[in-house]
Structure 1
Amino acid sequence: MNLFERTKIILEKHDIDGWLVMSSEGNDIHAQYLLDVEAHIMHFIYISRNEKDHVVSCVMEAPMIKKSLERQGIEAEVSTYKSFKDIGSILAKLLKDKKIALNFGEDVLSSSGTGYAEFLPVGLYNALLKYSPTTKFVSAAPIIYELRSVKSPEEIEDLKHATKATIEILEDIPNWVKIGMTEKEIKAKLEYEYLKIGTLSFPAIVANNEHAADPHHNCSDKKVEKGVLLIDSGVKTRRICSDITWTYWVGGNPPEDFLQAYDALYYSKKVSYKYIKAGAPANMPAIKCREALQERGYDTDKLYFHGLAHPIGFVVHDIGPGMSMKTDPSRLLVENMVYSNEPGLYWENKWGIRLEDDLVVGKDGAIVVSYNPKNPLLI
């Protein structure tokens, strides 16, 4: 079942006549998500509950859009425009007297809100009101959540493919990283390897020593020296991102405090997996992970200042409840949701360690599709 067919089922469920997606220069990821091609010039996708689906595109990009739709088995009419006035006329006919979902959030300033649907520019919304005064517009948040929070079997296979490719590249790191290389040089080489097989999930994080204490460190010209090397990276080989962090030790044997912290994180992650299954509260794995670290003597209030896991999907931070101790316990994990699992410990001005894997929420437990070395790899 393709994405257009899945969307029609959701439209029927919510009694919505259609879903309109607009994108220009990639400002709404759902255009690429639905078309499976990057179109840059302003275009519109209209998926109808009962009528024929429609894509409105510029003349230049219409042929590649048609080919992509055919490849996916999607029967949709592709119209072209030469002026913005043409767009208004086409949309007015499609949307007249209907209930149409648009990509705006109704509650964006809330941890459980609909910020994930917030893509529609205000100016475009005002234009739609002008051209379609009899149309009732509603938020597409329910459609987006149901399409993207739970993954299809094909998407889960995509995840396995991406994580396998990522692991192979991370395993090779000790063969070419050398003391004296800069973080940026390592990042460039790493991303080159990813780009040979897919697209980047996100700009890679390469952090040596004190930089590893900053979870979202921006790579610098710092030359790698003896100590911690944290690499957080991923690749999208098909339609799902990988997101994996390995922490290496550069130069000789690691000190005991590093080994103990690494082992504690490895252990705490194993504990958290016991609480990751369909129907479980999304906050519980994070709570149990922190308790395990505290048992090992680590002050998680000071040393661990982010959540345990985030959803992964078409984008690396995808849709669904985060696994955090602060997540509302009423938010439950659902079978075939996809997550990272990334506990970390950070000592400011010294170093940090993070061990991140990717997993699928199973009916009876977590299905882990990547791994971290039980003992840190040495460079």
Structure 2
Amino acid sequence: MKIKFIFSLFILVLISCNQQKEEVSKINSVEYWGENPWPEIRKKRINTLLPNALKEANVDCWLVICRENNNDPLADHVGGENAGGTAAFLFYNDDNGFHSKVFSPSGESTALDELNIHDEVVPVERGKSAIEQAVTFIKAQNFSKIAINSSQSNSTADGLSYTQRQTLESFLGSDANKLVSSTEVVYNWLSIKLPEEVAILTKAAELTAQFQIEAYQQIIPGTSTDADIAKFLKQKMAEYGVKDGWAPDQNPNVNSGPDRGHSHATDKVIMPGDVIQIDFGIKLYDRWVSDIQRFAYVLKEGETKAPKDIQFYWDSGKAGSRAALAAMKPGVKGVDVDRAQRVLMNKANSEYVMWSTGHPVGYVAHDVGPNLGGSQSSHVRPASEKKLKEGMTFAFDGFHAWKREDGTEKTISVEEMAVVTKDGARYLTKPQEELILIKSH
């Protein structure tokens, strides 16, 4: 009996090991998996997109100060993520073209120079100030406008600390009046994605949509909870080695009840007659983020299709999403994209929805770029007045909201992802065409 038991245990261990090998093999065979492309993409972004971003912002020079632990949000976009002592990164245009120059502590300058990101890395001796040496160079160039990361409207462009600014201004003296916010530089630079980045975002969108379809297939009405389905999606993320697109506690948001806004999945049991929303995003290479929603209806006993009212709500939201995509093209303002689908919402007698039609998505779920909103607001946010450009990527919705029998509200928000092209926009993955129907068991 003991030999038989040991043999059985051995067989179970072998099966477990084989299953683990299969899982690892699956992860390694995923098309997007491989060496992180960020280093080369970053270098290309600096050399091809940043020169024009400086010109569009009408500044001569952009200064980014990096340091250890409490670093600038843009440190890893400019190559300063490994800063220990204070380093000053300069980007500027002159008659000879675009240049990047870094004043780095000598103990780190060799490694930074070997990355071959910047034209020149100047070692700063121990005890000397990188900021002071950068200012000496800036004064010699006689730049008229120097952009720094201090912004009231863009947190990504607001990384300069109060004490860093004090130090900078003390070295600049009377030239401190040349300092301007980098808001427009950062906006013009980060809002555009390279084709290589669009390809990665496309893979992220495809996986996000695929995982949600699989999640809906797990539902057992009357048994499964919203939290159960969220847990399944977390397992898919672990299986594929991807991270959360936003705060882990609220990703994914699975909601089969009334609207909860940005929130976590609860232990509500999914029942026949429920409309289910999954709002979900993943992050690839710890860098590029997706944001997609998929909707389903749980059939009641005897139903073979969604009731007319639910089907109408779905069709209305879908029509709004398609109208928003059709409105996206270079030169169009974000507020006008919002208006395109709001017109249909009004015709369909939708309840008011406070959310914008869409937002940029890329490095974070709510990225830098034009906001697709404001047409129904008392005031339009500055970002909604910005014009769309080729290479911008968005997550956007078509809305329909209604009052439920208990007086609460429910919103269908047909959220897809798209990239702006030369003469329009295209989806990053196949959009949801039909409301997913879940049979009651």
TM-score with structure 1 setting the length: 0.79
How many matched pairs? 360
Q: Report whether the alignment pairs 1:147 with 2:199.
A: no
Identity %: 19
Q: Determine which of 187, 199, 216 is the counterpart of 1:174.
A: 216
Change in Cα spacing, 1:344 to 1:141, as seen in structure 2 (3 Å) is: same
| Residue of structure 2 equivalent to 1:126 | 166
| Residue of structure 2 equivalent to 1:206 | 253
Change in Cα spacing, 1:77 to 1:258, as seen in structure 2 (3 Å) is: same
Would you say the 8 A contact 1:23–1:44 is kept in 2? Answer: yes
| Residue of structure 2 equivalent to 1:307 | 356
Would you say the 8 A contact 1:249–1:377 is kept in 2? Answer: yes
Q: Determine which of 216, 219, 223 is the counterpart of 2:265.
A: 219
Change in Cα spacing, 1:297 to 1:142, as seen in structure 2 (3 Å) is: closer
| Residue of structure 1 equivalent to 2:330 | 278
| Residue of structure 1 equivalent to 2:347 | 295
Question: Offset of 1:362 from its aligned partner?
Answer: 2.3
Q: Determine which of 208, 224, 229 is the counterpart of 2:276.
A: 229
Question: Offset of 1:351 from its aligned partner?
Answer: 3.3
**Structure 2 counterparts to residues 75-90 of structure 1, below 5 A:** 77=121, 86=127, 89-90=129-130
Change in Cα spacing, 1:80 to 1:173, as seen in structure 2 (3 Å) is: farther
TM-score with structure 2 setting the length: 0.69
* Runs of 5+ unmatched residues, structure 1: none
Q: Determine which of 296, 300, 315 is the counterpart of 1:263.
A: 315
Q: Determine which of 30, 37, 53 is the counterpart of 2:101.
A: 53
Larger Rg: 2
Change in Cα spacing, 1:290 to 1:48, as seen in structure 2 (3 Å) is: closer
Change in Cα spacing, 1:156 to 1:58, as seen in structure 2 (3 Å) is: farther
Q: Determine which of 191, 204, 220 is the counterpart of 2:234.
A: 191
Separation in 2, partners of 1:361, 1:345: 24
Would you say the 8 A contact 1:206–1:229 is kept in 2? Answer: no
Q: Using the TM superposition, name which of 321-330 and 244-253 deviates more.
A: 321-330
Q: Determine which of 303, 313, 316 is the counterpart of 2:365.
A: 316
- Tell me how large the CA RMSD over aligned residues is: 3.5
* Runs of 5+ unmatched residues, structure 2: 1-42, 93-97
Q: Determine which of 322, 334, 338 is the counterpart of 2:389.
A: 334
Q: Deviations over 1:56-86 (max 9, x none)?
A: 4797x9898677x35xx5555386998xxx4
> Going by fraction, where is helix more abundant, 1 or 2?
2
Change in Cα spacing, 1:333 to 1:17, as seen in structure 2 (3 Å) is: closer
| Residue of structure 2 equivalent to 1:248 | 296
Question: Offset of 1:174 from its aligned partner?
Answer: 2.3
Separation in 2, partners of 1:290, 1:307: 10
Separation in 1, partners of 2:336, 2:390: 16
Separation in 2, partners of 1:374, 1:2: 37
Change in Cα spacing, 1:38 to 1:271, as seen in structure 2 (3 Å) is: same
